[in-house]
Amino acid sequence: MRRLAHVHVTDPVVVEGVDWSRYASGLIKSSLKRRDLTYADLVEALARQGVKESEPNLRNKLSRGSFTAAFLLQCLAAIGISYIDISDVFVPAEVVGNFPKVPRLDEAEE
Main-chain dihedrals φ then ψ at residue 4, nearest 5 degrees: -90, 145
Least confident of 47-51, 75-79, 103-107: 103-107
- Per-residue pLDDT tens for 3-60? 544 444 555 555 666 677 888 898 899 899 999 999 999 999 999 999 999 999 999 9
Residue 11 pLDDT: 55
Name the CATH code of domain 20-96 (choices 1.10.260, 3.40.1350, 3.30.530, 2.60.120).
1.10.260
For the chain, the domains span: 20-96
Question: What pTM, to 2 d.p., does this model score?
Answer: 0.66
Is it the case that residue 109 has pLDDT exceeding 90? no
